[in-house]
Chains A and B, each alone.
Chain A
Amino acid sequence: MKRIIGIAVLLLVVYLATWIMADAFSGRAVFMSGYNQENLLRRIALYGILGIGVSLVIITGGIDLSLGSVVCLVGVGVPWLAVGHGWPMPVVLLLALALPLAIGLGHGLLVTRLRLQPFIVTLCGLLIYRGVTRGFTQDQTAGFGNGFKALRWLANGEVPLFPGFGLPVPLLILGVVAGLIAVFLNKTIYGRYLLALGNSEEAARFSGIHTDRMIIVAYVICSFLAALAGLLFVLDVNLAQPVDFGNFYELFAIAAAVLGGCSLRGGTGTVLGVLAGTALIQVLRNMINLVFPAYQNMEYAVIGLVILAGVVTDELAKRAVARQKA
């Protein structure tokens, strides 16, 4: 809990700053409009699902760089098969959610059985899944056109709360995912195993824990959530281009996890922290968009600097605490 206070405060500050800069200076509700808040929450929801997935892998001490390409594979593949090739949607959806299980299993097996480095395994995944998607679709944009309205409600629908504002459906999906993963991490023996092996795989194995299986589970969940997010992304925006759909999403997800208190050394991480990290990044993007539209090109630089500042502050704070304790 203590770990996420810093990031929560930072989130609040950036949120308020954006509100003041965007709305007070312009005299209109630009940031605080129902439309903008809905969109912001929707994006937080989609990226949050990715962040939670990768945080499980990061807790094991690994990394998954292939997320963005899995988003692309599913995001492009679903409309390509369902619309372009007329496959029945239930079959396509089943495939879209089953394939990532195989992908995660593959990553997990390569990491645990062959002892390959997660960075390498998933870097290859990043290249392979995007290459496959682009090859099969001949780089053609895929989309749903005017069809599948009901399905698309999952991503662009909302549950009206009061006039002009409703809760985006993806936020409810994120709520379910976050709840399940939080219970998994904190209340089940397997979550406990995951945290223990992230801190010391050897000690966990010497305690009779099947550490390999737990690591594989983490990669499977991660790929599955990436596919779920990919599906929601394409249902939301309707169009997906194989060349850049999901580009850099893995980095946003990893950044959110790290900002939220996951150590890349493994062993630490909370769902709430990852959500706060995701929200911070999305509010920042929103700020650049609304307040500094002329600097839109600098988006990555700004996000990079803020993440760096966050991590540096966190490290310095940790040292100060350690010094006080010593």
Chain B
Amino acid sequence: MSDRTAGVSAPRLAASGICKSFPGVRALHEVSLKAFPGEVLALLGENGAGKSTLMKILAGVQKPDAGTIAVDGLPVVTGSVQESLRQGIALIHQELNLATNLTVGANIFLGREPHRYGWIDEKAIAAESRRVLELVGLDVDPAREVGELTLGQQQLVEIAKALSVNARVLILDEPTSSLSARETERLFEVMTDLRKRGVSLIYISHRLAEIQRMADRVTVLRDGVNAGDLKRDEITHDAMVRLMVGRDVSRVYQRTAGKPGAVVLAVHELRTPANPAQSVSFQVRAGEIVGLAGLIGAGRTELLEALFGVTPPLSGEIQVEGKAIRPQHPRDAVLGGLALVPEDRKKQGVVLAESVQRNLSLASLERDRVRGIFLNEAAESGITAQMIRELRIKTPGEEQPVRFLSGGNQQKVVIGKWLAMSPRVFLLDEPTRGIDVGAKQEIYQLMEKLAASGAAIFFVSSELEEILGLADRVLVMHEGRITGELSRAELSEERIMTLATGGTTAWSHAP
């Protein structure tokens, strides 16, 4: 058991003066970082702050232009993954690096299979695999195929793999981003256990609540330089955000609610292909922002996709301002006055390779066409200029491929594309996922503006803070049905979580 108070023992990992430039971009400048034995160090920063570059340099994936890395006081040759691994530094990528068609054991030993007389020594693999799997508390047969395991289990296999090469510094890049709540708990237990064994964990996450809970120390990067460190008792939400963005950002966005108008979206007993046994009914009024909360897999995205005709509903009624629509394809929904800002922005929201203009005009080309089939280029550039101005989309020009915009600006392009169609209902699925703290505020303001202009806003979010700050009313889903509805006055994290996990309470009134 190592000393848990940083600064008393010698650092396990010490990186100092790390500089790295890419043509035209200074990614890191004189960055230093220390990780002590038996410590969870959270590395924090906005997108583009240089976290990934630093991690890649530590793991030997990239070579720094300047700077040194030492493990237990001994210098590490930079720019070689093998060397970093030999010194005990292992990186667990956000997207797992496992061969899903191979067994657990084969993955743990990939590239360094023990062999006898040229034959792979399966017994040795099984024995060693069991040992490291036990360290991470994963009870699966090493002979099972990795593809059969859940994402959470696969992640533990990756950690076990790192331990089997004696990793002393474990870098976890957004490890909880695709895990369920239970799997996240399991991962945290393993992390706590590894910490006790003296492993240094460097943990990258955007989830401040998790960091607050798990981290012994926080190092913050901003624009490629050290922005500051926080000790255990200094780690608060506000302190982290302040260091990240370099200014105070009010902790929770507070919506200034208006008076809702007439019912715009009315859904009656809608059944989706994902949850055919359940039906869903609700209404959203003009000027109203309604949040849809629930755990991952509760059927929220599926509900939005059914409303929008991506996966047409099995039965039920949808009315927009009193007119019934039967969305069999997104086009039906669009013509009916709906707009969807989808969950997977890069795949479903924007055409990454195309320009800002082509993305902004994509949905309204048909309406604005001239002589039957021809593009209306004047209308196109008009819409583009208007949206760039009104939504304050930061782009060098309308011809810039959307790929090169930041996440927040990409999201504005998606919203702008729909705004050109003046939809009555905005469906937004995780509208601020992967977007910087500063840009989030802008998206929130935009949603409020849309509501103020008389549209009905229905949004899904897994961030409770977002739901609490933004929604006039919250619906909570659990296993395909709406388990409760909370007005703004009734809102609290506990109540949402109770409903989201299937509990019923006195204040919930199922529709």
Residues of chain A touching chain B, judged by Cβ–Cβ distance below 8 Å, are 187-190, 192-193, 195-196, 199-200, 202-210, 267-268, 323-326
Instruction: Count residues on chain B whose CB falls below 8 Å from chain A CBs.
Output: 33
B64 to chain A, nearest CB (A): 18
Q: A189-B374, A203-B349 are in contact. Are A209 and B23 (CB under 8 A)?
A: no
Residues in B with CB closer than 8 Å to A326 are: 22-25
Cβ-defined contact, B351 with A199, below 8 A: yes
Is residue B366 contacting chain A, with contact meaning CB distance below 8 A? Answer: yes
Residue B197 at the chain A interface, CB threshold 8 Å: no
> Do residues A187 and B333 form an inter-chain contact, with CB atoms below 8 A?
no
Measured CA separation A196–B24 after assembly (Å): 30
Query: Are the C-beta atoms of B373 and A196 separated by less than 8 Å?
Result: no
Quick one: closest B residue to A206, CB to CB?
B348
Are A204 and B351 touching (Cβ within 8 A)?
yes
Chain A interface secondary structure, helix, strand, loop or mixed? helix
Cβ–Cβ contact B310 & A206, under 8 A: yes
Min distance, Cβ B333 to any Cβ of chain A, angstroms: 7
In the complex, A195 Cα to B334 Cα: how many Å?
21
Contact of A203 with B365 at beta-carbon distance under 8 Å, contacts A189-B373, A189-B375, A208-B334 already known: no
Q: State in angstroms the CA–CA spacing of A325 and B348 once bound together.
A: 27
- The proximity string for B residues 366-394 relative to A, scoring 1 for CB distances below 8 Å and 0 otherwise, is 10010001110000000000000000000
With a cutoff of 8 Å between Cβ atoms, the chain B residues found around residue A206 in the complex are 308, 310, 330, 340, 342, 348-349
List the A side residues contacting B374 at CB < 8 Å.
187-189
- A166 and B374 CA atoms in complex are apart in Å by 35
- Given A192-B358, A210-B329, list of 15 further CB < 8 A pairs? A188-B373, A188-B374, A189-B365, A196-B358, A199-B351, A200-B351, A200-B352, A202-B344, A203-B349, A207-B362, A207-B417, A208-B334, A208-B363, A209-B362, A267-B354
Between A190, A196, A202, A208, the greatest number of chain B beta carbons within 10 A of the residue's beta carbon is seen for: A208
Chain B residues whose CB sits within 8 angstroms of the CB of A325 once the complex forms: 24
Instruction: Please give, as numbers and ranges, the residues of chain B lying within 8 Å of A190 by CB-CB distance.
Output: 373
Residues of chain A contacted by B66 (CB below 8 angstroms): none
Could you list 5 A-B pairs, sorted by A, with CB under 8 Å?
A: A187-B374, A199-B353, A200-B352, A203-B348, A326-B24
User: What 4 A-B pairs come out closest when comparing CB atoms?
Assistant: A208-B334, A208-B331, A189-B365, A199-B353
Contact B352 A207 (CB under 8 A): no
Most buried by A among B308, B344, B354: B354
Contact partners of B335 in chain A: CB under 8 A: 208
CA distance A268 to B335 in the complex (A): 29
Complex CA distance for A188 and B353, rounded to whole angstroms: 19
CA distance A218 to B374 in the complex (A): 18
Q: Mark B318-335, 1 if CB is under 8 A from A, else 0.
A: 000000000001110111
CB-defined contacts of B308 to chain A, threshold 8 Å: 206
A-chain residues with CB within 8 Å of residue B24 when the two chains form the complex: 325-326
Residue-by-residue, is B131-164 near A (CB-CB < 8 Å gives 1, otherwise 0)?
Answer: 0000000000000000000000000000000000
Knowing A200-B347, A207-B417, A208-B334, say if A192 contacts B352 (CB, 8 Å): no
Knowing A190-B373, A323-B23 are in contact, say whether A207-B354 is a contact too (CB < 8 A).
Answer: no
Residues of A within 8 A of B347 (CB): 200, 202-203
Contact A189 B369 (CB under 8 A): yes
Closest residue of chain B to A263 (Cβ to Cβ) is: B353
Q: B14 at the A/B interface (Cβ < 8 Å)? A: no
| Residues of chain A lying within 8 A (CB to CB) of residue B342 | 206
Q: Which residues of A contact B348 (CB under 8 A)?
A: 202-203, 206
- C-alpha spacing A192/B369, complex, angstroms: 12
B350 within 8 A of A: yes
**Residue ID in chain A nearest B22 by CB atoms:** A326
Q: Is the CB of B363 within 8 A of A207?
A: yes
CA distance A207 to B330 in the complex (A): 7
| Inter-chain contacts of A267 with B (CB < 8 A) | 353-354
Determine how close the nearest CB of chain B comes to the CB of A6; give it in whole angstroms.
19
Minimal beta-carbon separation of B466 from chain A (angstroms): 22
- Taken together as a complex, chains A and B put the C-alpha atoms of A315 and B373 apart, in Å, by 35
Known: A188-B375, A324-B23. A203 touches B330 (CB 8 A): no
Return B373 CB to nearest CB of chain A, in Å.
5
A209 — which chain B residues lie within 8 A by C-beta?
Answer: 330-331, 362
**For window 245-286 of chain B, which residues contact chain A by CB distance below 8 Å?**
none
Q: Are B366 and A189 in contact (CB under 8 A)?
A: yes
Interface centre among A206, A210, A268, A323 (most CB of B within 10 A): A206
Inter-chain contact B362/A204, CB cutoff 8 Å: yes
- Contact B350 A203, beta carbon cutoff 8 Å: yes
Measured CB to CB, the nearest residue on chain B to A268 is: B353
How far apart are B343's CB and chain A's nearest CB, in angstroms?
A: 10
Residue of A nearest to B404 (CB): A325
* Chain B: CB-nearest residue to A189: B365
B417: chain A residues at CB < 8 Å are 207
Chain B residues within 8 Å of A210, by CB: 329, 331
Nearest chain A CB to B24's CB is how many angstroms away? 6
Instruction: Decide: B351 and A196 in contact? CB cutoff 8 A.
Output: yes
CA distance A267 to B330 in the complex (A): 21
Contact indicator B362/A187 (Cβ below 8 Å) = no
A196-B352 in contact (CB<8A): no
Q: How far is the CB of A295 from chain B (nearest CB, A)?
A: 41
CB under 8 Å from chain A, chain B span 100-129: none
Q: How far is the CB of A264 from chain B (nearest CB, A)?
A: 14
CB contacts (< 8 Å) of B350 on chain A: these are 200, 203
Given the complex, which residues of B lie within 8 Å of A323, measured CB to CB?
23
Q: Look across to chain A and name the residue whose beta carbon is closest to the beta carbon of B340.
A: A206
Residue picked from A189, A195, A196, A267, most chain B C-beta under 10 Å: A189
Could you tell me the distance in whole angstroms from the C-beta of B419 to the nearest C-beta in chain A?
13
List chain A residues, Cβ under 8 A from B363: 207-208
A195 to B333, CA, bound (A): 23
Cβ contact within 8 Å between A208 and B333? yes
Q: For the complex formed, measure the closest distance between the CB of A14 and the CB atoms of chain B, giving whole angstroms.
A: 30
Hey, which chain A residues are within 8 Å of B330, CB to CB?
Answer: 205-209
Cα-based distance from A207 to B414 in the complex (angstroms): 9
**Closest chain A residue, CB of each to CB of B330:** A208
Residue of A whose beta carbon sits closest to that of B418: A207
Residue of A nearest to B25 (CB): A326
User: A residues within 8 A CB of B340?
Assistant: 206
